[in-house]
Amino acid sequence: MKNPHAWLKKELPHWIQDGIIDSDQARQILSRYPERHSLSWGKILISGFGAVMVGLGIILLFAYNWDAMGRFSKMSVVLGALAITHFFAFRTRLHNHHLSESLFILATMLFGAGIWLVAQIYHIDEHYPNAFLLWGFSALLLAWSLPSLPQAIMTIGLLMIWHFSEVMDFDFATHHALLLILLGLFPLIWHLKSPVLARLVSAAFFVSLGLTTASVDEHLFGSSILLVAASFIFFSFWSASLPSGWLSLAGDELAKPAWLVFIVMLFLMSFGDLSDDLIRVRFQEPVESFYFYLPLLLSQLLFVWLMARRQFSIMTIVIELSVLLLVYPSVVGGVYPAQLYTLIFNLLLLGLSIGLIYQGSHFADTRKMIWGSLIFTALVFARYADLFDSLISRAIAFLIVGGVLFFAGTVLNRNRNRNRKETS
């Protein structure tokens, strides 16, 4: 059942009336299954494309006679289109939510077009990424005031374009991009209670962090995003121990992009040629210390909290060992055994894959089973050319991989069938 909240709201009054539970118990049960605001992606996509087509049509219609129009006429068209679209969007909000949402999307698009048109009318030669920043701010204000998930998604896209333009075209680190995401978008996750937004904001944060740290120092990139990924994952472990509610769900959704980042970074560090560039921070500027030690402190505080609550698993240990291995070359410095580090990172990746396969098969969790199998297979293929010289050794390696995955799949199916019998 995708959203048990709505079903429970209908059934709980009947249970109370029949004397099965009392009102306090009903509230406790309802709090364990938070309401998820589902998003009709079909309607959103159709509405979004419709708004895009209408917006382009309006722009092209006036562009046909744009040169013949005076400055006052041009400004009247830009401001009038914005005012009319917002008026009808607010007017239809109470009666037709989807139509209103489409009109607000159109209004945001027209606002972006208006920025460029006003710059063209008054011949403003400005730093062009600022237009995307202003455009993103307008979408963010609507996302908070309406509130609106499509506007929040548009905000993420516009802020990513702005940040990408600053870094790639002007080599600006734009540290305040991370601050905008932290203060503007992370609280919006709680406000909208949207799992989709939690995943997108988390992914956007990692992209912005990667762009910023790579601009500061390419050696800082790998360390900072791995430490932040570890912090997000530890936070999800902690939130999972809470009574089932929105914070637990949000922690799990925020950790999904973090898991992908962590696995990719761990995989890259399993190659000897890349590990030194990715994990040895030079600390030539104070900002490098900030991006390294702040997520390190956060991750370790969360890890200590998990240990104090006796919440540990194979994955927790793998993540913590990865963090400690990451910290040593940067903090202690000096020469470190690169080959030994590469071997340890390979073993950690192997332990992570086996842990995921075990948990997925034992607890009938298909998602963990798939991720563990993918990591295990990728690791074997990556080491295919490094470790196996003869055809017989390569054949044995693939037979072992196939046998492990076949056995894990059999255990997964057996446990799933057992769970079905117990619930039926």
Kindly write down the DSSP assignment for every residue of 141-186, as one continuous string: HHHHHTT-HHHHHHHHHHHHHHHHHHHHHH----THHHHHIIIIIH
Out of 14-28, 106-120, 226-240, 246-260, which region has the weakest mean confidence (pLDDT)? 14-28
- Model confidence over 90-99: pLDDT tens digits? 888 878 777 7
Determine contact, residues 139/158, Cβ cutoff 8 Å. yes
Instruction: State the CB neighbour count (10 A cutoff) for residue 158.
Output: 22
Q: Specify which of 89-98, 198-207, 324-333, 406-415 reaches the highest per-range mean pLDDT.
A: 198-207
Out of 4-18, 126-140, 213-227, which region has the weakest mean confidence (pLDDT)? 4-18
- pLDDT, greater one: 75 or 328: 75
Mean pLDDT value of segment 210-228 = 90
Determine contact, residues 283/330, Cβ cutoff 8 Å. yes
Mean pLDDT, the chain, as a whole number? 81
Distance CA(408)–CA(48), nearest Å, equals: 43
Distance CA(225)–CA(281), nearest Å, equals: 13
Instruction: Give the model's pLDDT for residue 165.
Output: 94
Q: Which two tokens stand for residue 260?
A: 């992908």
Predicted confidence band of residue 231 (pLDDT cuts 50, 70, 90): very high
Determine contact, residues 239/247, Cβ cutoff 8 Å. yes
Mean pLDDT value of segment 396-406 = 73
Cβ-count burial of 123 within 10 angstroms (0-12 exposed, 13-18 middle, 19+ buried)?
Answer: exposed
Q: Specify which of 81-90, 109-118, 121-130, 229-238 reaches the highest per-range mean pLDDT.
A: 229-238
Per-residue pLDDT at 56 exceeds 70: no
Instruction: Give the model's pLDDT for residue 116.
Output: 81
Instruction: Give the model's pLDDT for residue 299.
Output: 94
Mean pLDDT value of segment 343-367 = 83
State the greatest distance between any 2 C-alpha atoms of the chain, in Å, as a whole number: 80
Cβ-count burial of 20 within 10 angstroms (0-12 exposed, 13-18 middle, 19+ buried)?
Answer: exposed
Q: How much of the chain exceeds pLDDT 70, in percent?
A: 82
Q: Which two tokens stand for residue 112?
A: 């972006």
DSSP state of 282: -
Q: How much of the chain exceeds pLDDT 90, in percent?
A: 27
Instruction: Give the model's pLDDT for residue 23.
Output: 78
**Distances 338 to 88, 213, 265 between C-alpha atoms, Å:** 64, 23, 16
Cβ-count burial of 2 within 10 angstroms (0-12 exposed, 13-18 middle, 19+ buried)?
Answer: exposed
Per-residue pLDDT at 41 exceeds 70: no
* Residue 36, amino acid: R
Instruction: Give the model's pLDDT for residue 186.
Output: 95
Predicted confidence band of residue 385 (pLDDT cuts 50, 70, 90): low
Mean pLDDT value of segment 153-161 = 95
Mean pLDDT value of segment 363-385 = 80
Per-residue pLDDT at 364 exceeds 70: yes
Q: Which two tokens stand for residue 397?
A: 């390696």
* Residue 252, amino acid: D
Q: Which of 326, 265, 346 is nearest to 354 (CA)?
A: 346
Mean pLDDT value of segment 67-81 = 78
Distance CA(338)–CA(346), nearest Å, equals: 12
* Residue 393, amino acid: S
DSSP state of 128: T
Per-residue pLDDT at 408 exceeds 60: yes
Q: Which two tokens stand for residue 187?
A: 């609280």
Distance CA(298)–CA(285), nearest Å, equals: 21
Cβ-count burial of 74 within 10 angstroms (0-12 exposed, 13-18 middle, 19+ buried)?
Answer: middle
Instruction: Give the model's pLDDT for residue 138.
Output: 94
- Model confidence over 275-330: pLDDT tens digits? 767 777 878 888 889 999 999 999 999 999 999 988 877 788 889 988 988 887 77
Instruction: Give the model's pLDDT for residue 115.
Output: 86
Q: CA dihedral defined by 68, 73, 78, 84, rounded to 10 degrees?
A: -130
Determine contact, residues 250/190, Cβ cutoff 8 Å. yes
This prediction has a pTM of: 0.81
DSSP state of 2: -
Instruction: Give the model's pLDDT for residue 203.
Output: 97
DSSP state of 281: -
Per-residue pLDDT at 224 exceeds 70: yes
Determine contact, residues 151/122, Cβ cutoff 8 Å. no
**Distances 175 to 213, 257, 418 between C-alpha atoms, Å:** 9, 21, 52
Predicted confidence band of residue 206 (pLDDT cuts 50, 70, 90): very high
Predicted confidence band of residue 246 (pLDDT cuts 50, 70, 90): confident
DSSP state of 336: -
Per-residue pLDDT at 37 exceeds 70: no
Of all helices (H) and strands (E), which one includes residue 17? helix 4-17
One-character DSSP codes across 54-123? HHHHHHHHHHTTTTTS-HHHHHHHHHHHHHHHHHHHHHTTTT-HHHHHHHHHHHHHHHHHHHHHHHHHTT
